[in-house]
Amino acid sequence: MENLIIGLILLIVVATLYLFSLRRADHSKLKKSLTRSLRILIQNSIRLFAIFLIIGMLQNFLSKEAMSNFLLRFRGFSGILAGELAGSIMMGPAASGYPIAKYLFDSGAKTPLVSAFLLSWVMVGIVSMPLEYKDLGRKFMITRNIVTIIGIIFLSLIMGVLI
């Protein structure tokens, strides 16, 4: 539902942009931009579907319960690393990680582990790294991921102190 609303808002914004420049910019530019958009859409559809497919399969072959039970074996600093690793392999929209986090808490996991899992769930994705590499470059991909992986360790430690 939320996807639908934001999708519609996005389309309205884009349509307004196109209509607005219909009056100013020359039409050949708009045509070119539409052709390019179509090419991006086709390319994105293939790439994103492949990622959705691998995530869908992962979720079925690696159940959330099995992963949580594996995570619960770790304590302290190794818990942070385990949570981070699990979050990087599994991936999904931020909100779908919350129920897993709750399950972890209910089963006795500590704040740093759950934080590390939730953070890497969205920020680091082994599955999406090839796409990041292709679109944003090798240097950017490597730098951003390393900074984030180290940052998550610090954030999780801070969470452990604050909560």
Pick between residue 76 and residue 99 the one whose CB is nearest to another protein: 99
CB nearer to another protein: pick between 82 and 159? 159
Least distance from another protein to the Cβ atom of residue 17, Å: 6
The radius of gyration computed from the CA coordinates of the chain, to the nearest angstrom, equals 20
In the complex with another protein, which residue's Cβ is closer, 73 or 139?
139
Q: Contact, 124 vs 87, CB < 8 A?
A: yes
Nearest to 89 by CA among 131, 143, 128: 128
At closest approach, how far in Å is the CB of 70 from another protein? Answer: 18
Q: Would you say 25 or 78 has its CB closer to another protein?
A: 25
Q: What is the nearest approach in angstroms of another protein to the Cβ of residue 107?
A: 14
CA 41, 44, 48, 50 torsion: positive or negative? Answer: positive
**In the complex, least distance from residue 78 CB atom to another protein, rounded to whole angstroms:** 21
* Interior angle at CA 83, CA 159 and CA 102, nearest 5: 70
The CB density around residue 48, as the number of other CB atoms within 10 Å, is 12
